[in-house]
Structure 1
Amino acid sequence: MKRKPMMADCDGNVCESLRKLLSSVRTVRDQVRDAESNESDGAFNLLNFWDTLIQAVRAVSQEATKLSIAFSKPPPPSPQEGQMLSESVLKSVLTLSTVFYWLPTSQGASLRRRVRDATVNVLDGLTQLVDVILSSPLQSLTQDQLTSTGSVWSACDQFAQLPQDNKVAVMEILSEQINVVKDAIQELDQALSQDPFSDFLDNDDDLEGDDPLGQQETNWSDEDRRVIGPCQGLMKAGVACLRKMTSAVRTNGDITTPQNLSQLDDLADVIREISPGVDGLAVCLYPPMDYSGIDNNASKLALLLKKLLETIRSSHVCGESELTWVQFLDGAVTHNLQKTRDLIQEEK
């Protein structure tokens, strides 16, 4: 059987150019991923930044396409063509990374993080494409190469969907957190409303033993459900807080001063902690319930919510109308935590 030609069989100079390209792109990607905060010495034109960044992203997408086409069928490019292709791809990569570095932290850490992650995704896709080209048959365009090329295009297309300023970036974080927390609450509500053993128990005469399916370990007792109630109240207070905060940031969020930009980032930092806190409590509420774990996780979530409410209270997004719901939710958190602890104490 005739062996399919592989990239390893092509001209050594072409392969070496690709290997050097792969190494260089990986290095740039790692540098962007670990990039230190950058400060602007003067006025920064955010609109001009976005125009230049989008152009740089398009160039990377175009160069990736050229590279993929060039190695889609035999014969492979000549050594000179391979060198020129690699240099052209690397040039587009360096331009993209340079433009990313222009964005200073003074425009908002949340915005810069989103742009950084999007840039890393493009470079990740490109490294995968070059790696696939180096290891794929040249007889035809492989599915792996098609998929890798598509991944680069998709990562580049995401730039058009990125938040254009720090306020929008924080709004995105809020939206993501609300969805995650709502999912955790809905899953618990659905589990509580169902009896997973009802079908079996209809024919329990055929089952041996007093507890053949270990119901006591897999179902909630009445006492369990009473404890779950205020825990759900804590979780729902988290959703209410995130929703109210979304409205406050949309209405009052300001990005014209360094102080206000910093306050939005402080809010974002606390916001990211809410869904893990809700998940931690939710996991403890499934049978068999660990009351000490519930007590611990309810306290952690309550502390996080109070931290978020205090951060809101001390920020520019909190006006007189916002102060009303901040105080109400603070009281709701305190009430539900205390009720949870009281009920747990009764069960001990």
Structure 2
Amino acid sequence: MRCFLKRSSRSIVATVINLVTSFVDGSALEEQVGAQKTGAVWSSCDAVAKVPKGNRNAMRRDLFTWVMECNETMEEFQEMIDLGPAPQQTDASNQDADGESWDDGDEDQYSDTELEVAKASLALIKCSRGTMSVVLKACECAGDEIVTSEGETLRKKAILQWMSDLHAMSRIVGEGATDLGALLYPPMNFSPTDEGDGEASDIFQATTLGRQIATQAAAIEAVNAFILDSSPTTEDGSSLESLNLSEDVTSMAAKLRTAGESRKQEAGEALSTTSN
């Protein structure tokens, strides 16, 4: 909730400063500048009313936002994948006087090699969306346990910290899915990174896309492993009894943990063909 309040407060401060500055330099008296800047201040103030009430609602909003972004990314790239590979241009009429092709085909279509990488990467984004869903359910279970833990102040604090840690880890998955999607637009860049030489023993370290795939898979694994462990800790680091998560939550987390690693391996196999 704190981040939402900071964001809204900074917006109000920024718009008020702009309004005051416009009166100081006289620009507010020109046409509708003053009215527009005043309206911006009111809009910033109105946004405060939309700030989630309580940490629980703030966390839910974040999780739903990341799920929505995953859905949008999946829809966009699924359409590209459904187009199939771009046709090969072999017509001599598409070449200039030097024999170079001037028609590279549809920029919204993948090559045969890119298509396999895109499929595996999209599957990893699906695992990211699933992870957001299981996090939401895990937090619901943890919240219910807080309600039923009457008088157990130490355990309540530990559970709240567990939920906060899980939310922070989920942010990496949610934002990472967007970062991965940004690298999937054709034509894909398989150029070696500064850290890799294109023929690295670890195919994931050779390119920017490979590194992001590995990072995303690791984030998915970490979140689901954290849920499966489900052991809140006290301020001194002592582990308490595991949370009473539903069988549905633990089953989903276990499947997603395995699926994330499988999708990573599929992506690695697809990436290996790009270096041949």
TM-score, length basis structure 1: 0.58
Residue 8 of structure 1 corresponds to: none
Q: CA 1:117/1:280 → structure 2, altered by over 3 Å: closer, same or farther?
A: closer
Aligned with 2:45 (options 125, 134, 156): 156
- Pairing partner for 1:228 from 106, 118, 122: 118
Deviations, residues 281-300 of structure 1 (Å, cap 9, x unaligned): 33333333345423322111
Stretches of structure 2 that go unaligned for 5 or more consecutive residues are 148-155, 191-205, 231-242
Map of 1:93-112 to 2, 5 A cutoff? 111-112=1-2
Q: 1:322 to 1:197 in 2, by over 3 A?
A: closer
What are the residue-to-residue correspondences of 1:1-348 with 2, within 5 Å?
111-136=1-26, 142-194=31-83, 207-208=94-95, 211-215=101-105, 219-250=109-140, 252-253=142-143, 257-291=156-190, 292-293=206-207, 294-315=209-230, 316=243, 318-347=245-274, 348=276
Q: Secondary structure at the match of 2:95?
A: coil
Q: Distance in 2 between matches of 1:156 and 1:324?
A: 44
Determine if contact 1:170/1:264 at 8 Å carries over to the other structure.
no
User: What one-letter code is carried by the residue in structure 2 that aligns with 1:261?
Assistant: L
Q: Percent identity?
A: 20
8 Å contact kept, 2:74–2:122: yes
> 1:322, 1:151 → 2: CA distance?
44
Deviation for aligned residue 1:118: 1.7
CA distance in 2, matches of 1:120, 1:346: 48
Secondary structure in 2 aligned to 1:118?
helix
- CA offsets 1:111-153 (integer angstroms, 9 cap, x no match): 2222222222222221111111212367x57422112211221
Q: 1:173, 1:271 within 8 Å by CA — same for their partners in 2? A: no
Residue 273 of structure 1 aligns with an amino acid whose one-letter code is I
In structure 2, what is the Cα distance between the partners aligned to 1:118 and 1:175?
Answer: 19
- Flag the 1:197–1:270 CA change in 2: closer, same or farther, 3 A: same
Question: What displacement does 1:195 show?
Answer: 7.9
Does structure 1 conserve the Cα–Cα contact (< 8 Å) formed by 2:123 and 2:263? yes
Conserved 8 A contact 2:81-2:119: no
Does the 8 Å CA contact 1:295/1:344 hold for their aligned counterparts? Answer: yes
1:177–1:271: 8 Å Cα contact kept in structure 2?
A: no
Residue ranges of structure 1 left out of the alignment (5+ in a row) = 1-110
Deviation readout 1:62-88 (Å, 9 max, x if unpaired)? xxxxxxxxxxxxxxxxxxxxxxxxxxx
Structure 1 236/317 Cα, relative in aligned 2: closer, same or farther at 3 Å? farther
Whose helix proportion is higher, 1 or 2?
1
Deviations 1:237-265 (A, max 9, x none): 10111123223334543667322222222
CA pair 144-345 structure 1, distance change in 2 beyond 3 A: same
Q: What CA deviation, in whole Å up to 9, does each residue of 1:187-219 have, x standing for no partner? A: 222333348989xx8xx7863357332349874
Secondary structure of 1:253's aligned partner: helix
Q: What is the alpha-carbon distance in structure 2 between the residues aligned to residue 113 and residue 270 of structure 1? A: 16
CA distance in structure 1 between the aligned counterparts of 2:102 and 2:162, rounded to whole angstroms: 56
Q: Would you say the 8 A contact 1:305–1:333 is kept in 2?
A: yes
**Which of the pair has more CA radius of gyration?**
1
Relative to 1, partners in 2 of residues 1:346 and 1:128: Cα closer, same or farther, differing over 3 Å? closer
The letter of the residue matching 1:304 is: A
**What is the number of residues matched between the two proteins?**
233
Decide whether the 8 Å contact of 2:173 with 2:219 is kept in 1.
yes
TM-score by length of 2: 0.72
Q: RMSD across aligned C-alpha pairs, in angstroms?
A: 3.1
Measured in 2, the distance between the counterparts of 1:179 and 1:236 equals: 12
Give the secondary structure class of the aligned counterpart of 1:153: helix
- State the secondary structure of the residue aligned to 1:211: coil
